[in-house]
Structure 1
Amino acid sequence: MTETAARLLSNWIVAQVPQHANWLRQSLEGLAQGAPDRDLYIFLGLAPRKLGKADLVLNAADLANANAARAGWSPSGWSVDGAARVLALLTATSNRPFAERFKDLRRTSDVAEMIALYRGLPLYPEPEALDFEVGEGLRSNIRAVFEAIAHHNPFPQDHFDDHRWNHMILKALFVGSELSPILGLRERANPELARILVDYAEERWAAGRAVTEELWIPVRPFADDPAIRDKLADAIGKGHLTEEGLL
């Protein structure tokens, strides 16, 4: 899968900035042959200057190929330099575990680099070894970094336990992030999350604040749960919620 994803990324980048194809190829060849970490850091720093920061131009066939390479992977919205940074991580070889290199990169990266690092999560080897670093990204106060993990990324759906999943959904609400771009929002619904979201809605209503309709997506499968049913009925009775809103 990783080789296919790397090949796709390389083809897309070269198609968009063919004038820099030689630089990209030579740089990646060095990284693939075990160049020191310093060379990887230099590449990551040069990528936006060499390749630009334009959006990666992809058509429907490109997106279908991405999904075939890794189910759920959608590089729509990626930038050219961001794609190159992920490609470099997939290409570089080292005696050090991947998670150690990722940790060092995260600690020294700027926001754009961090977004690229986290968008590449579904493509990296040893995903279970990245648990701590993913947690750090979820705790970020920078919404774009949080969304690099939470939005259009199959990694959380595939690797988070219910506790971390529920925390991510709740934080998305707290930071004003949309829920619908979260892959698995329906499939990963669970009773504990449904109860948490109903309590969150009650707090919002008590403060005179609105609740996004997306919140009910993971609640609906558990609307008949005794711990939830009465609260929903009370909310409908008070005019905070309509029965249609739960459909």
Structure 2
Amino acid sequence: MFTYDVGKFKSLFTELITRNIASDAANWLLTQAANTASAATFNNAFAALPRKTGKNPVNANTEIESGLSALRTGFSTRGWSVDRLSRVWLLLTLDASDQRSYERTIENLYLAAELNELVALYSALPLLAYPEIWVNRCTEGNRSNLGVVLEAIMYNNPYPSEYLSESAWNQLVLKALFTEKRLELITGIDERANVALAHALIDYARERLAAGRNTDPMLWRLIGRFIDDGILHDIKVVLPRLGLHEKEAVALAIHESDFLPAKELLETAPLQAMAGKKTNWNEFISDTKNKI
């Protein structure tokens, strides 16, 4: 049913909520949770919730956040608002003993949801019971053109990396690039890297550069371990058109590669000057932010 200790998780989640909303709003929320057996009551509460809790950013407690991520690996409320937090909490109060009824209730919420409700629903994916039944819903969400919905699916959300097929995962990463999302915030971005994605990314880079457009340097993070003859050939083709920061990323990607012909490229211009400037992607990301 649940893949984690939902009781302990909900207890910590409740504490986080009570620290972030007024006592009257917390009391109202607890009252609604006691009436989740009625679909109409639950749906009304889910929709009305922001009027009770407000929409302030969550003031995260480090200890609670650590406890939540320990119970549900990869989960984080970083960047959430209190109404989003409270809606996800409310979903955890649903009776999950009857899978068909549980699924129907949540699917009906998806069908009727406005933007912020969708954000909460997709944020809740890693916490819902019967996680395998939400794969199609996650895949469909990735087709959205709504930036905040995509971020709810991609950022600090372990569900996609745990349950999407390789093909669907690769589409998520490519969608992130198309919509200029931050790859480093996608949970599982390194663990789910694969050779098919590496080839798709180098093709994407070639197309962008041929059209005179820049590429996200972070895409090279997902290519380095899979460099082969074909990818190395493409690197040589695009290298003259890359900016300084992109060349640094290529050098770091090659540094992570075990493909010896690629290593030889580090000894030639223009990568020779880049080799060793960054030793890991966290350092690369930090340096990028400092330059913005």
User: Shared fold by TM > 0.5?
Assistant: yes
Size of the aligned set, in residue pairs, is: 242
**Structure exhibiting the larger radius of gyration computed from Cα positions:** 2
Query: What residue is the counterpart of 2:68 in the other structure?
Result: 66
Q: Which of 26, 33, 42 does residue 28 from structure 1 map onto?
A: 33
Amino acid at match of 2:72: R
Q: CA shift at 1:178, angstroms?
A: 1.5
Query: What residue is the counterpart of 1:39 in the other structure?
Result: 41
The question of whether the paired residues in 1 share the 8 Å contact of 2:138 and 2:160 is answered with no
The question of whether the paired residues in 1 share the 8 Å contact of 2:13 and 2:68 is answered with no
Task: Point out which structure has higher relative CO (alpha carbons under 8 A, 6+ apart).
Answer: 1
Query: What residue is the counterpart of 2:201 in the other structure?
Result: 197
Stretches of structure 1 that go unaligned for 5 or more consecutive residues are none
Alpha-carbon distance change, 245 to 211 in structure 1, aligned in 2, over 3 angstroms = farther
Q: Which of 92, 96, 99 does residue 103 from structure 2 map onto?
A: 99
CA distance in 2, matches of 1:196, 1:230: 14
Q: CA shift at 1:155, angstroms?
A: 0.6
The Cα RMSD (Å) is 1.5
CA distance in 2, matches of 1:100, 1:121: 15
Q: Which of 232, 237, 259 does residue 234 from structure 1 map onto?
A: 237
Q: C-alpha deviations, 1:108-150, integer Å up to 9, x for none? A: 0110000011011111111111122112211111011011111
Q: C-alpha deviations, 1:213-246, integer Å up to 9, x for none? A: 11111101112x122111112223x343635253
The question of whether the paired residues in 2 share the 8 Å contact of 1:53 and 1:81 is answered with yes
* SS state at 2:60 partner: coil
- Aligned: 1:168 with 2:172: yes
State the identity %.
33
Q: C-alpha deviations, 1:193-214, integer Å up to 9, x for none? A: 0000000000011011111111
- Aligned: 1:244 with 2:251: yes
- Mean Cα deviation higher: 194-203 or 182-191: 182-191
- Aligned: 1:216 with 2:223: no
Runs of 4+ in 1 over 6 A off after TM superposition: none
The question of whether the paired residues in 2 share the 8 Å contact of 1:2 and 1:124 is answered with no
The question of whether the paired residues in 2 share the 8 Å contact of 1:5 and 1:123 is answered with no
The question of whether the paired residues in 2 share the 8 Å contact of 1:169 and 1:179 is answered with yes
Q: C-alpha deviations, 1:151-199, integer Å up to 9, x for none? A: 1101111111110110000011111211110111111110000000000
Query: What residue is the counterpart of 1:115 in the other structure?
Result: 119
The question of whether the paired residues in 2 share the 8 Å contact of 1:189 and 1:218 is answered with yes
- Aligned: 1:11 with 2:30: no
The question of whether the paired residues in 1 share the 8 Å contact of 2:54 and 2:83 is answered with yes
The two structures have a TM-score, normalised by structure 2, of 0.79
Amino acid at match of 1:130: W
CA distance in 2, matches of 1:186, 1:180: 9
CA distance in 1, matches of 2:136, 2:75: 22
Query: What residue is the counterpart of 1:147 in the other structure?
Result: 151
Q: C-alpha deviations, 1:85-109, integer Å up to 9, x for none? A: 1111110226444332221111101
* SS state at 1:30 partner: coil
The question of whether the paired residues in 2 share the 8 Å contact of 1:185 and 1:217 is answered with no
Q: CA shift at 1:61, angstroms?
A: 1.1
The question of whether the paired residues in 1 share the 8 Å contact of 2:209 and 2:241 is answered with no
Stretches of structure 2 that go unaligned for 5 or more consecutive residues are 256-292
CA distance in 1, matches of 2:80, 2:8: 18
Amino acid at match of 1:152: N
